[in-house]
Structure 1
Amino acid sequence: MEGMDVEALIQELQNFGKARPAPSPLNVEDDHGSPRSMSSSMSAVSEAPSVVSLGSSTEMTESDMSLSASVSSISPSEILSLTRTLTLIYTTTLLSLLTSQQLALLGRARYLSSVLAAAREERLAESIEEQLSITGLLFGNAGEQMEELIDLPEGPTEDTEARFLTMSWWLLHVGWKDVGERVRMSVEDVFEGVSLKTRLTLPDLHRLVLDVRRRIDLNTDFLHALLPSTPELTAHVLAQGGFSFPCYYHQKTESLAPLLDELQGIVQSADFGLVLDRALDTAVAILFADLERSVFPSSNVEEEPRVRLAGLLPALQHWSQDALKGLPCVLVDDILSTREVGALEAIAFARFEDDVRGR
């Protein structure tokens, strides 16, 4: 150590450090074989996490959108609210028409019975007067005339009328289920693609309901929903109404069967289908008048007010619960006051040719 020139060695080392060039960056090849620096590689690596983060962010956004869509789409409970409202409209309308036709047929039968009773009394008085005359005593056949007057058939009894009106039990306990199923399927077809967040005007909702009605009315035959289709089912209805089973077959040869046959013919007629359509128009108009008052706010703006479908469902449920509670019932009264309903009653009341011919 003593023989070494320490100062000269230090000076040489310092000069060597200053003269050494800066290290060049390490070059690597990319996927295509072209060189790139380590710094650029490190830069790419440093950017990689952001790409991964972006991908995960995109996946999360798509998941959120899917969840949001599933939440906003209409659920079975909302389908049930719409189904309940329209089923109420259909069953109430059908029951109103059925009852009006039953009463029209019974009213006609009573009217004819009173007319025939008056004619019977008049003819009986004439027969007695003729019998007591000299000509009648010598040549008359008063006995045969008296038998003809006695044999004139009478109208339906009160028991028969009660049995006939009991037929509405079928719609109230059995037939409404068939109507409700037809309504449910049509509601699902129309509203399945409608989001709860969809903002609807009153005409928009009316068009949707009209579309549901068109699907329901593709089959306008409601006979099996209104009346029992077999004698066994008819006997079951009478039993549920408090009448014994054999009584129906005893009454079958009298006046109950002709009344049922005529009522079935009316229900299957084209006139009944037309009247049903007009009566449903009236019932739906009552619903929308209530919605316009309670849900759609009135404003002076030219643009029509819009309400989300989710906001309409509670109002529909409320209307379904209160529609039949009031006395008098506005829904039933307005249906029965429809001009076409009265016209169908008049047609049924005036069609008594067969009754007169049979008597």
Structure 2
Amino acid sequence: MSSGSVSSRSLFQRHRGKVLTSVGIVATLFTAGSVCMYLVKRWLYKQQLKITEQHFIREQIRRRFTQTQEDSLYALYELIPVFAMVLAKKLDLEELVIALRDKKLSKTGSQKARIGDNDVLSSGISTSVTEVDTSTANVANKSEGKTQKTKAELWNELKTKSLIKMVTISYTISALLLLTRLQLNILTRREYLETAIRVAVEKESSLSDGKSVVSWIWGLWKGDDTKSAVSEAIEDSKAKPTPVSKNSYINEQAFLSLSWWLLNRGWQDFEAIVEENVEKQFGQLNPRDTLSITEFSEKLTEVFRDTNKQLFPDATNEQNGTGRLQTILLPRPDLEDFVLKQTLDPEAFNILNEDKTVFGQLILETAKCLESTVSSIVLETLVNESFQYIMEQVETNVSKKKNKQKTAKESDCVEDSDAKYQMAVFTISCKDCCNEILKSGVVSMDNEFLARLDSVVILDDLSASVYSNFGFQD
């Protein structure tokens, strides 16, 4: 054996411990590094999964928020016909229009009768049939106990009622939209809060047995299929419907039914205030008096301004309108049972009386929202938008009606901006505007007035704050 191989073997034998130690260290470091890299990758994967869950949850919340606002508009379309029926009992304009039409027809008939009488006198034909018909009609009117109003009285009544109805509608529907938005957003947020608590409790209970470091490392080590893990996480994050007891359901339905108060009682407070201000601005005008569109707009502006002063808080008196608005939109506590008896069947009413905890919480939260200055600002903004819509409609209607009466020559002589119209023309235009505002149809949903109010930005801002902010809750 050569001396070189012997020296190499002896060198290896001398340093064999060091070589084996170095190899072991390298192998250990490599293995540890691989394990650490794998654990880091698993940790990053789980963080990515959490981000995916959060994005999905936020998207679900956003979609549900959008759907809630659409549901509010649908609800308004459902309630408008109910409000129109209630208004017809006290502010029926069509009855006055028919009475004026009958006056016109009777006047035309009497003129024809006079012409006929002159012909009869010359020919000797009897007029007994006409006389009998007239006397019979007079007797019928007296038997019905109806006092015959003059044409001027009918026009004045139509003028006043059309203005009162138009302004009252704008305030009531604006308030109804605000109330509906608050109610539905409060309910939807409550549902999401209950769902979030339920999911958190379920996750906490599932992780209660895995608090040790070994369990944490094992959770990172086990390799679930990525696709199945992501889908499972998304399924966990979905807003699963929480089982609702019959009592809770009835509590929520009772809460939503409180809009009955505004539609049947609360709007009369609006009407009383509006009537006073309409009489102040338009009471001295006769149907034949003429106004320009600018003059009419200024008078109507004063009506809205004076009404706002009586309803909404101002800088000098912060409590001027908040309490009054709350009593208009919601019944007093002593009247809640009266409202619920009008809207719930006896069985549901009895179940509600067994436990009104949820109902009380919802009422309290809604009252706090209505007491806030933000809600007053939103309602005032909606009313201002209503005024803009009314003036656009009145101006369009007045121009159309006047153009039908004008000849081409008169149209050339008078500029539209300086044109003056009889108050009777404004009256009919206001009546037509009321019909446009109260136009309903859930399928078509073509009410321009409701669409404009629903698109007010500050209303969406308030809805978003109620939907996502828990500051109103105790």
**TM-score bracket for this pair, using the shorter chain length:** 0.5 to 0.7
**Larger displacement relative to structure 2 (271-280 or 316-325):** 316-325
Given candidates 170, 178, 190, the residue that maps to 2:269 is 178
Whether 2:259 is the aligned partner of 1:168: answer yes
Aligned to 1:58: none
How much is the aligned-residue C-alpha RMSD, in angstroms? Answer: 3.0
Structure 2 residue aligned with 1:292: 395
Counterpart of 1:120 (choices 189, 196, 201) is: 201
Tell me whether 1:277 sits opposite 2:395 in the alignment. no
Q: Which residue of 2 aligns with 1:242?
A: 344
Aligned counterpart for 1:92 among listed residues 159, 170, 173: 173
> SS of the counterpart of 1:218?
helix
Distance 1:225 1:338 in 2: 22
**Residue 111 of structure 1: how far off its partner (Å):** 1.6
Kindly indicate whether the alpha-carbon contact (under 8 Å) linking 1:73 and 1:193 is maintained by their aligned counterparts in 2.
no
> Which of residues 303, 310, 320 in structure 2 aligns to 1:212?
303
Tell me, in whole angstroms, the C-alpha distance in 2 between the residues paired with 1:247 and 1:184: 41
What residue ranges of structure 1 are gaps of 5+ in the alignment? Answer: 1-69, 135-153
The answer as to whether partners of 1:196 and 1:309 remain within 8 angstroms in 2 is yes
Query: C-alpha offsets along residues 122-146 of structure 1, whole Å, 9 cap, x if unaligned?
Result: 1121236569x99xxxxxxxxxxxx
Structure 2 CA distance for partners of 1:191 and 1:74, relative to 1, 3 Å: farther
Q: Is contact 2:274–2:303 with CA below 8 Å preserved after alignment?
A: yes
Deviation at 1:353, TM superposition (A): 4.7
Contact 2:368/2:472 (<8 A) preserved: no
**1:69-91 Cα shifts (integer Å, max 9, x gaps):** x9599723321111111111111
SS in 2 for 1:106: helix
Deviation at 1:347, TM superposition (A): 2.1
Query: Which of the numbers 177, 192, 195 marks the counterpart of 1:111?
Result: 192
Instruction: Check the 8 A contact 1:182/1:216 in 2, yes or no.
Output: yes
Kindly indicate whether the alpha-carbon contact (under 8 Å) linking 1:171 and 1:226 is maintained by their aligned counterparts in 2: yes
Alpha-carbon distance, 1:269 to partner: 2.0
Q: Which amino acid aligns with 1:317?
A: K
Kindly tell me: are residues 128 and 325 of structure 1, through their superposed partners in 2, closer, same or farther at Cα, counting changes over 3 Å?
farther
Pick from 369, 372, 384 the counterpart of residue 266 of structure 1: 369
Q: Which amino acid letter does the alignment assign opposite residue 239 of structure 1?
A: K
Q: Give the TM-score normalised by structure 1.
A: 0.66
Alignment of 1:9-28 (within 5 A): none
Is this contact kept in 2: 1:72–1:197, CA < 8 A? no
Q: Please identify, of 194-203 and 337-346, the stretch whose mean Cα deviation from structure 2 is larger.
A: 194-203
Query: What is the aligned residue count?
Result: 266
Cα distance in 1 for residues equivalent to 2:297 and 2:201: 57
Distance 1:72 1:164 in 2: 44
- Give the corresponding residue for 1:315: 429
Query: Of residues 188, 193, 212 in structure 1, which corresponds to 2:284?
Result: 193
Q: Which has the higher helix share?
A: 2
What letter matches 1:125 in structure 2? S
Larger radius of gyration: 1
Contact 1:97 1:336 (8 Å CA) reproduced = no
Alignment of 1:306 onto 2:420:
yes
Q: Distance in 2 between matches of 1:269 and 1:354?
A: 10
Is residue 2:157 matched to residue 1:76? yes
Give % identity.
23
| Alpha-carbon contact 1:223-1:268 (below 8 Å) kept | yes
CA contact (8 A) 1:168 1:227 kept: yes
CA distance in 2, matches of 1:208, 1:291: 13
Shift of residue 224, structure 1, vs aligned partner: 1.4
Secondary structure, aligned partner of 1:200: strand
Asked if the contact 2:175/2:329 (under 8 Å) is kept, the reply is yes
* 1:251 partner letter: D
